[in-house]
Amino acid sequence: MKYIPRQLAETLVRAARAFPAVVLTGPRRAGKTTLLRRLFPAASYRLLEDPATLAAARADPKGFLGDLDLPVILDEIQNVPELLSFIRARIDSAPNRKGRWFLTGSQDFSLMLGVTESMAGRAAVLHLLPLSTAETAKVTAYRGGYPEVIARPRDADLWFQSYVQTYIERDVRRISQIRDLATYRRFLALIASRTGQILNKTDLCAPLGVSIPTITQWLSILETTGQIVLVPPYFENFGKRLIKSPKLYLTDSGLACHLLGIDSARALSRSPFAGAIFEGLVASEIIKQQANLGRRREIYYFRDQRGLEVDFVVPSGYHRLVLIEAKASQTVYPDAARNMLSLAKSVNRATDCIVVHAALLPSDDDAPLAPGARAMSIGGLLRALRARYPPLKAVTRVRIP
């Protein structure tokens, strides 16, 4: 499979030069190991899911770490969280040695709990999501961004089927003792059908016959393993009564299409879920860019109880907001900006109003739509959001002294 350069590379290299350890989290198969081994070819590698390696690490953590050649990549570190305290001791014995430990994990909560307790101030924490549209034009609303799907699109359906089965059997059972996997699979499909909607746990309970605490636990598992994104509402003193529940999206639009039984790009274009899938793609692309720049996640939505709604609100620079509407069509009209322009009048900040649509032609990338609003492709939006940040440099391989 041809390697596709990742935008996170420069941020990751800067982190390796500044910290003794780098923790790279993200969903399974997003490309974490490939990126680390590409950037740091001199680093040794240990997979902590290999039975022999796992047994050695658990039986004698000190001896296991003592036998490693540094720098080292420890893949899926959440399987042996007790290693973190011993790694901390090794770091503290030589605090000026940077870029010696590269740790990956697919379960953010368990991994981050260990990092918070053991590695505070010693590790940079970065997040890698599947490929973005800025990294390859092959990422689409139908296919999503998982590298193996991009590399072998004809096998995408089989890949997603295997991914869901593996994810349920490995990650979900590891985190929680879910006994009824058939119901959980139906829960996944139900979540896909609710993408782009405001989260309503009661609405999810009834079709499955489970309790709200169970739904809460299952949602937590999906969020922990990077499968869903919960976009919180944006609060400011607008003098309005606001909706307080988050909006729900699957992280990868290709997985959402698979769970919904959408089997082609043409079927997606005719599906009643087309708008929600495209909206989820826009949310995911914004989050990917923020993660790739090493910045905290800042994406919100706005909706008040009178029905005024804006898909996304993204802080951009000092005291400035970008208001975003996502439209799956290639043609947009000035009325699409109406809600954003209405909200902009109530915001005590400078605002940019952007309607993101499924543009195919370069001429559609950035065009005036209405006074105070512009229409852009996803690429145009990402460039507009990134304009205030310094450009990333191309990085291929790095040698850490």
Alpha carbon dihedral 302, 310, 346, 383, in 10-degree steps, equals 110
Query: How many whole angstroms separate alpha carbon 208 and alpha carbon 41?
Result: 48
Query: How many whole angstroms separate alpha carbon 281 and alpha carbon 299?
Result: 13
Task: Please check whether residue 293 is in contact with residue 309, taking contact to mean a CB–CB distance below 8 angstroms.
Answer: no
Task: Please provide the CATH number assigned to the domain covering 147-281.
Answer: 1.10.10.10
Query: How many whole angstroms separate alpha carbon 216 and alpha carbon 202?
Result: 10
**C-alpha of 13 from chain center:** 20
CB atoms within 10 A of CB 113: 14
Mean pLDDT by 10 residues, the chain (401 residues): 90 94 91 95 94 94 94 91 90 92 78 67 90 94 96 94 84 72 89 94 91 90 88 73 84 96 94 96 96 91 85 85 92 90 84 85 73 91 78 49 46
Please give the span between the terminal C-alpha atoms of the chain, in angstroms, as a whole number.
Answer: 30
* Same fold across 9-127 and 147-281: no
Q: What pLDDT does 285 receive? A: 96
* Helix (H) or strand (E) segment spanning residue 370: strand 366-370
Helix (H), strand (E) counts: the chain: 17, 13
Q: What pLDDT does 364 receive? A: 63
pTM for this structure? 0.90
Omega before residue 401 within 30° of 0, cis:
no
Can you point out the beta strands (E) in 159-260? 228-231, 247-250
Tokens for 84? 């973190």
Query: Could you say which architecture CATH assigns to the domain 9-127?
Result: 3-Layer(aba) Sandwich (3.40)
Query: How many whole angstroms separate alpha carbon 291 and alpha carbon 382?
Result: 13
Q: What pLDDT does 401 receive? A: 46
Supply the DSSP symbol for 21. Answer: E
Q: What pLDDT does 324 receive? A: 95
Which sequence spans correspond to the domains of the chain? 9-127, 147-281, 300-386
